[in-house]
Structure 1
Amino acid sequence: MRIVVLGVGNILLSDEGIGVHAVTRLEELYDLPAEVEVIDGGTSGMDCLDQVSEADHLIIADCMRSKKEPGTITRLTGDQIPAFFKTRISPHQVGLSDMLGALNFHGLMPKNIVLFGVEPLSFDLSMEPTPTVAARLPELVERIVGELAAIGVAVGRKAA
């Protein structure tokens, strides 16, 4: 089984970088088995094509405008994800939607895709998320770990 955890976002724009912060924290806190590949995708979705193609599971962490309270975490799967791409939901969304579109066109789509989107508060220039969104980072990481557990991947916390 091949599993990819992809964090996307621009860490220079405050809450926009939450997906990248999530995968960084995931790797800091957890020992991940060899079948789990963690990728900091930044803002360049198309550059990740080879790494995510034909994965059994793709878990994406990103910021996502969903007209909910800032910091709200939304889980999307399957057909829900392309539906959200009909309107722009994050500043780098063109890269992510282009990547998914290219994978689909070439028949290389991951078998299962889950997107965890965090409602942003700000896209101001800052390398740190706002306190509202940063407070949700531990839950976002735990939800990724929970998704891994749900597909049968044992993930252990690193020793302190």
Structure 2
Amino acid sequence: MNILILGIGNLLLGDEGVGVRVVEALERRFILSPPVEILDGGTSGMALMEIMSGRDSLIVADAVLTGAPPGSVTVLRDAEVPALFSRKISPHQLGLSDVLTALRLTDEFPRRLTLVGIEPESLAPGIGLTPTVSAAIEPALNHVLALLAQAGVNAVPRDAGQQTANGPAGVNMPPGR
């Protein structure tokens, strides 16, 4: 299966960088089988066209303005995704909308497109997420994991080997137990 999980966002604009943080958490915490391509797309826009083309599935994590409360997670599929970017947060979303349009015109649009969007609380210049949006990473990550499971991809926690050898993760077991 040809799957790309793409995190989009500007880490210099507070909560706008949440998509990048979601894919970082996925890559840091899970081993995916079969392997899936995970990419921090930052604010690359049209430069992402080649890597996005011809995918069986493209999962995009990004900050989105839907009018929902800050920290809300929204999952959109296929034709719903480009329509959302008509109300953009930052210039990279215009670029992503352009890439999706170009992929459709060249018959290289992904077979399945899913956006896991998180409503930002602050887009003020600065590095770091607000606590509200930081707390939304886990629910967003769970949506990504569910999408991967539907595609037949297993996600094994990176510390799973440690859990079986040493008891639950984060718990120090005495020797011989």
Identity within the alignment, %: 41
Matched-pair contact (CA < 8 Å) for 2:14–2:130? yes
Matched-pair contact (CA < 8 Å) for 1:15–1:121? yes
1:151 to partner: Cα distance = 1.3
> Where in structure 1 do 4 or more consecutive aligned residues deviate above 3 Å?
none
**Count of aligned residue pairs for this structure pair:** 159
Query: 2: distance between equivalents of 1:34 and 1:123?
Result: 36
Matched, 1:99 2:99: yes
RMSD: 1.2
Structure 1: which 5+ runs fail to align?
none
Query: 2: distance between equivalents of 1:105 and 1:14?
Result: 34
Query: 2: distance between equivalents of 1:35 and 1:3?
Result: 9
Query: 2: distance between equivalents of 1:120 and 1:51?
Result: 27
Counterpart of 1:32 in 2: which secondary structure? strand
Matched-pair contact (CA < 8 Å) for 2:54–2:108? yes
Q: How big is each residue's C-alpha offset from its partner over 1:54-87, in whole Å with a ceiling of 9 and x where there is no partner?
A: 01000000000001100000000012112223x2
Query: 1: distance between equivalents of 2:144 and 2:98?
Result: 23
| Cross-structure match for 2:19 | 19
Structure 2: which 5+ runs fail to align?
160-168, 170-177
| Cross-structure match for 2:147 | 147
Query: 2: distance between equivalents of 1:138 and 1:81?
Result: 21
Matched-pair contact (CA < 8 Å) for 1:66–1:89? no
* 1:44-59 map, 5 Å: 44-59=44-59
| Cross-structure match for 1:133 | 133
1:34 to partner: Cα distance = 4.9
Matched, 1:88 2:82: no
| Cross-structure match for 1:116 | 116
State the TM-score, normalized to the length of structure 2: 0.86
Select the structure with the greater relative contact order (CA < 8 A; seq sep ≥ 6).
1
Matched-pair contact (CA < 8 Å) for 1:2–1:35? no
State the TM-score, normalized to the length of structure 1: 0.95
Query: 2: distance between equivalents of 1:54 and 1:127?
Result: 34
Query: 2: distance between equivalents of 1:65 and 1:88?
Result: 7
Matched-pair contact (CA < 8 Å) for 2:7–2:61? yes
Give the structure with higher Rg (CA).
Answer: 2
Counterpart of 1:155 in 2: which secondary structure? strand
